[in-house]
Chain A
């Protein structure tokens, strides 16, 4: 009796915890509301199954626990019941999988008008690169990384000369414009993770990965690293600031291009060499 009640209480308490939990997802700031909807639906289906199974167990324990003279039924199989349960389960699973795959199709289909933005991870900081006036990012390679060229851009690639480089500063994005985030690492695995955007993807040294999203509200959002990258993994932070288009362009105008940065460093180095002679 006590055991049956405790089992039932576990089920009831789990449902109540879910309903009243103050710990819930962050307010969404991207177009991926469908992901949240799929999670909500999955919670309903799985929650119902969990409660039904545990409550059924509690009932069995309450009703059929051992008493003097009780004898169990002998029922090796029941084909009908087993088939129905199998079909019911398959339908429930399909009901979760189908919308999931539809949303995944959207997730992997990048809209043609998405602007490319590059995020580069290294132990333990983030750098960003935006295409310049030509709208294209130049090529890059970890082999090109040096103190003059910390993002490893190809100095001979003309597409890269006007790329805007943002080192150890925040990334700004215009609200309402789809973005294709190109992800790259020059040392170990990292993962560009902004909980409010819902989307995330690992960054793998040696290749460029991506995801896309559209920021849907302005604000400042914290960037975390979601793939273990060594001892300072938890401190690898940055911010994304989503702004109105006008403010974004004002900010963009103040940033330096790759060519400017390269000149500046050469100049600094030259004057340092002259000064020390």
Chain B
């Protein structure tokens, strides 16, 4: 008997790796708490990340209260302000964005999108989450130790981070470094999983160049993180030794408050090189998953194939590689040999080319599309606007001589919030509105979604766009109170107050989102298996939410790329990746 199925399987290589027995939970505890199912781990990661993210949000409120109305809130002093900015930055960059994109979206989407039953090392995957949780708890503990959390700024530059002129010198900095070390250990366990799963556990027919860009983005970011985090790891260990054992890795001879210290011979710049060797790739560790996800959101909701898929893949890989040779653009005025500036300015501006290609391809995907203005699509559009804005101001700061007057001012704060705060968070929201129906089986409420979107997007833009101009004026960052300064006009204080009000409103809008998440869990509209009419595999699971093992008896077989939307001649405006080609399909359709 010849059926269509076996007919098209001819010429498709057999699976390279045989199916491995899944771990099957035996109790409620091993099913929902100490779970080895990537989907549960993903939810655990996401909920934890968002919970600690709420702490960062509250900290940002307190900072904005102080900046907008200095002196009015007597419960915020200089010490606390520095502690707020440090913890806000650290939480947002590492404990929220990195954890959510890789631990959250990575865990949920990689196995489903490549057609695997689970991650390849489920036990290590489970450990990864629990160590991450421990890292978060240690971080939170710093709020309750004597002296409070460290106020060294999220960059933790020595010598000040371990000296007594900085808040949190007693215990805060020690716990901060321990927490980072734990985070990196936990991440490494998860990260190895994501990489090996993508390389080894793809289902039949899922060639690398058929993978959705979401997987490409998360995969490349994970490889980068595995290479970049070790630099932070050694920096944290060495600084811990400097603080606890009196070594001098980063400490030169110095005098603290009139007292000669016992340190000598260390280099503060060494720490900065290690930190940014991690820190710059970190920007793209957050950005690349966002690039990938937003490509899929735009394509799905514009019902059109992503424009220039191959270029998009190479741009992701190229940006990932280049991002390892640009780190010292964070150090143009650090006191390193200024001649480095020529090299790092050149590499930094070269990155603009593949990045610009991605932007063109996103907007060209909209061209002659069939644009559905759903909540995920709105967030995707807002991502493009904020990312282009923040990316372009990067051309100021990357161009070494332009960076000199702007570095360490509010221009930098505005730039990195726009490009790696607001823009990726737009994608996080878009992605949650997009995939929530798969995770829970129910849709998020569209009206609440739109309210959440407009307030968040316009409000965040109103906070961070004008902030660039305070930096241009010369207002330095990390000042709890600019005070009487000759070149700062009174109108700058009014602008600060305006930005603070906008920030409070944006923060409040997140409560609408949290309410929507909880309310829709039981009251949301039933989603069905594929509410958006998407092509990728996660929408083709036999059950929604996907059951343990994802695919029932048979793994899906992939016949086409992830972007067969509005194929001429096809009946529907999308063809799932696992739908076999039929003889009426026009030859030469993209595969």
Binding site for B on A (CB under 8 A): 3, 6-7, 10, 14, 17, 21-26, 32, 34-35, 38-39, 42, 45-46, 49-50, 53-54, 56-57, 60-61, 64-66, 70-78, 81-82, 85-86, 89-90, 93, 96-97, 100-101, 103-105, 107-108, 122-124, 141-143, 145, 147, 152, 183, 186-189, 191, 193, 195-196, 198-207, 209, 220-222, 224-235
Q: Can you identify 13 A-B contacts, CB atoms within 8 angstroms?
A: A10-B385, A23-B469, A25-B473, A38-B402, A53-B359, A70-B370, A77-B311, A78-B307, A143-B260, A188-B159, A195-B474, A196-B487, A230-B163
Report the minimum CB–CB distance from A86 to chain B (whole Å): 6
Contact A101 B346, beta carbon cutoff 8 Å: yes
- Alpha-carbon separation in the docked complex, A22 to B492 (Å): 9
* B396 is an interface residue with CB less than 8 A from chain A: yes
What is the minimal beta-carbon distance from B431 to any residue of chain A, in angstroms?
Answer: 20
A188 near B407 with CB under 8 A, answer no
Q: Which of B361-369, B548-556, B576-584 contacts A (4 or more CB under 8 A)?
A: B361-369
A234 with B367: in contact, given A26-B487, A77-B311, A86-B357 (CB under 8 Å)?
no
Pick the residue among B308, B352, B487 that contacts A77 (CB under 8 A). B308
Bound form: Cα–Cα A81–B307 in Å: 11
Task: From the candidates A54, A56, A96, name the one contacting B349 in the complex (CB within 8 A).
Answer: A96
A96–B590 CA distance with the chains assembled, in angstroms: 38
Contact of B395 among A23, A86, A96, A147 (CB under 8 A): A96
A186 touches B469 (CB 8 A): no
Question: What's the Cα separation between A104 and B398 when bound, in Å?
Answer: 12
Give the chain A neighbours of B167 by CB distance below 8 A. 231
Stretch in B192-200, B247-255, B536-544 with 4+ CB within 8 Å of A: B247-255
Is the CB of B451 closer than 8 A to any CB of chain A?
Answer: no
Which one of A72, A78, A104, A188 lies within 8 Å of B401 (CB-CB)? A104
Which residues of the partner chain B approach A234 to less than 8 Å between Cβ atoms? 78, 479-483
List residues of chain A with CB within 8 A of the CB of B341.
104, 108
B333 → A minimal CB distance (Å): 5
Binary per-residue interface labels of chain B (55-85) against chain A in the complex, 1 for a CB within 8 Å, 0 otherwise: 0000000000000000000000011001000
Interface string of B399-421 (1 = CB under 8 A from A): 11110111111000000000000
- Asked if residues A104 and B165 are in contact (CB atoms below 8 Å), the reply is no
Q: Does B13 contact A (CB under 8 A)?
A: no
- Interface contact B476-A226, CB-CB below 8 Å: yes
Check A222 against B309 for contact (C-beta < 8 Å): no
- In Å, the complex CA distance between A149 and B481 comes to 33
A231 partner residues in chain B, CB cutoff 8 A: 78-79, 82, 151, 165-167
Report how far A96 CA is from B393 CA in the complex, Å.
Answer: 12
Query: A61 touches which one: B359, B373, B395 (CB < 8 A)?
Result: B373
**Residues of chain B at the chain A interface (Cβ within 8 Å):** 78-79, 82, 151-153, 157, 159-160, 163, 165-167, 252-258, 260, 266-269, 302-305, 307-311, 333-335, 338-339, 341-342, 345-346, 349-350, 352-353, 356-357, 359-361, 363-364, 366-373, 378, 381, 384-385, 388-389, 392-393, 395-396, 399-402, 404-409, 458, 461, 465-466, 469-470, 472-474, 476, 478-483, 485-487, 489, 491-492, 495, 563, 565-568, 573, 590
Q: Are B378 and A3 in contact (CB under 8 A)?
A: yes
Knowing that A64-B369, A152-B255 are A-B contacts, what are 19 other residue pairs whose CB atoms are under 8 Å apart, sorted by A's residue number?
A: A3-B373, A23-B470, A39-B396, A57-B366, A71-B566, A72-B302, A77-B308, A81-B364, A100-B400, A108-B341, A124-B165, A142-B252, A187-B255, A189-B157, A202-B335, A206-B267, A230-B160, A234-B78, A234-B479
Contact A207 B335 (CB under 8 A): yes
Known: A26-B474, A103-B401. A189 touches B160 (CB 8 A): yes
Q: Is the CB of A233 within 8 A of B479?
A: yes
Report the bound CA distance from A221 to B366 in whole Å. Answer: 51
Pairwise interchain contact A7-B381, C-beta atoms closer than 8 A: yes
Known: A64-B366, A195-B474, A230-B166. A89 touches B258 (CB 8 A): no
Among B165, B458, B573, point to the contact of A230 (Cβ < 8 A).
Answer: B165
Contact A200 B166 (CB under 8 A): no
Chain A neighbourhood of B153, CB < 8 A? 228
Q: How far is the CB of B291 from chain A (nearest CB, A)?
A: 15
> How far, in whole Å, are A34 and B160 apart by their CA atoms in the complex?
34
- The distance in angstroms between the C-alpha atoms of A100 and B346, with both chains bound, is 10
Shortest Cβ gap from B57 to chain A (Å): 23
Closest residue of B by beta carbon distance from A208: B335
Q: If the complex has contacts A188-B159, A200-B407, are A72 and B370 also in contact, measured as CB distance less than 8 A?
A: yes
Give min CB distance, A231 to chain B, whole Å: 5
Do A57 and B402 touch across chains, with their CB atoms under 8 A apart? no
Query: Which residues on the B side are within 8 Å of A10 (C-beta)?
Result: 385, 458, 461
Give Cα A227–Cα B516 distance, bound, in whole angstroms.
42
Distance from B506 Cβ to chain A, minimum over Cβ atoms (Å): 15
What distance in Å separates the Cβ of A57 from its nearest Cβ neighbour in chain B?
5
Q: How far is it, in angstroms, between the C-alpha of A32 and the C-alpha of B563 when the chains are bound?
A: 51
Q: Is the CB of A72 within 8 A of B402?
A: no
A188 vs chain B, min Cβ distance (A): 4
B269 to chain A, nearest CB (A): 6
- Residues from chain A with Cβ under 8 Å of B309 in the complex: 76-77
Contact B308 A60 (CB under 8 A): no
Assembly CA distance A201 to B381 (angstroms):
39
**How far apart are the CA atoms of A228 and B366 in the complex, in Å?**
44
Are A24 and B469 also in contact (CB < 8 A) when A76-B563, A188-B160, A229-B160 are? yes
Nearest Cβ on chain A to B473's Cβ, whole angstroms: 5
B335 A46 Cβ-Cβ under 8 A: no
B360 touches A14 (CB 8 A): no
Nearest chain B residue, comparing its CB with the CB of A65: B371
Q: In whole angstroms, what is the CA distance A73 to B164 when docked?
A: 64
Give bound CA distance, A3 to B377, whole Å. 11
**Contact with B473, one of A23, A32, A89 (Cβ below 8 angstroms):** A23
List 3 tightest A-B contacts by C-beta distance, closest first.
A206-B252, A230-B165, A195-B474
CB within 8 Å for A108 and B402 given contacts A142-B252, A187-B256, A228-B157:
no
Q: Are B335 and A141 in contact (CB under 8 A)?
A: no
In the bound complex, CA of A42 to CA of B470 (Å): 18
Query: In the complex, what's the smallest C-beta–C-beta distance from A60 to chain B, in angstroms?
Result: 4
Task: Report Cα–Cα, A56/B361, bound state, in Å.
Answer: 12
With A24-B472, A60-B371, A233-B478 known as contacts, the answer to whether A53 contacts B400 (CB < 8 A) is: no
Decide: A202 and B334 in contact? CB cutoff 8 A: yes
Q: Are A23 and B481 in contact (CB under 8 A)?
A: no
Residues of chain B within 8 A (CB-CB) of A232 are: 78, 165
Quick check: A186 and B338 within 8 Å, CB to CB?
no
Known contacts A23-B473, A86-B357; is-contact A74 B485 (Cβ 8 Å) = no
Cα distance A224–B486 in the bound complex, in angstroms: 11
Closest to A47 in B: B392
Contact B335 A60 (CB under 8 A): no
Please, which residues of chain B bring their CB within 8 A of the CB of A222?
485-487
The answer on a CB contact under 8 Å between B267 and A77 is no
- Chain A's nearest CB lies how many Å from the CB of B329? 12
Given A72-B565, A72-B573, A183-B335: A97 touches B345 (CB 8 Å cut-off): yes
CB of A107 within 8 A of CB of B401, answer yes
The answer to whether A72 and B345 touch (CB under 8 A), given A187-B163, A222-B487, A234-B480, is: no
In contact, B482 and A143 (Cβ under 8 angstroms): no
